[in-house]
C-alpha cells in the first residue's frame, strides 16, 4: 500500500477507475514513459494508459474466448 501511496496523484486517480489490477511498479513505469512521450501532458498520459489498457483487455478477451471482441 505504501508503494501505491507514493504514486503521483494523477496516476492514482487513473488507477482508481482502471479495469485491470495494475501493480504500482508497472503503472509508474508506463506513466513515466507516457509523460515522456507526451511532453509531460498529464491528460494525454492518462489517455495513453486508457488506450493501453483497452489493448490489453482486447488481447485477454481473445485468449479467453478465442475470438476478437465486437
At which residue does the C-alpha cell 483497452 appear?
A: 54
pLDDT of residue 11: 97
Element of type H or E holding 44: helix 42-65
pLDDT of residue 29: 98
pTM: 0.87
Count of beta carbons in the 10 Å neighbourhood of residue 22: 20
pLDDT of residue 1: 87
pLDDT of residue 30: 98
pLDDT of residue 70: 79
| 45 within 8 A of 34, measured Cβ to Cβ | yes
Q: What cell numbers appear for 66 in the block?
A: 478465442
Extract the residue ranges of the chain whose pLDDT is less than 70: none
The domain limits of the chain are 23-70
Amino acid at each position: 500500500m505504501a508503494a501505491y501511496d507514493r504514486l503521483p496523484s494523477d496516476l492514482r486517480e487513473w488507477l482508481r477507475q482502471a479495469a485491470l489490477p495494475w501493480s504500482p511498479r508497472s503503472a509508474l513505469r508506463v506513466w513515466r514513459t507516457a509523460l515522456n512521450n507526451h511532453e509531460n501532458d498529464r491528460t494525454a498520459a492518462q489517455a495513453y494508459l486508457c488506450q493501453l489498457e483497452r489493448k490489453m483487455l482486447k488481447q485477454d478477451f481473445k485468449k479467453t474466448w478465442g475470438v476478437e471482441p465486437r
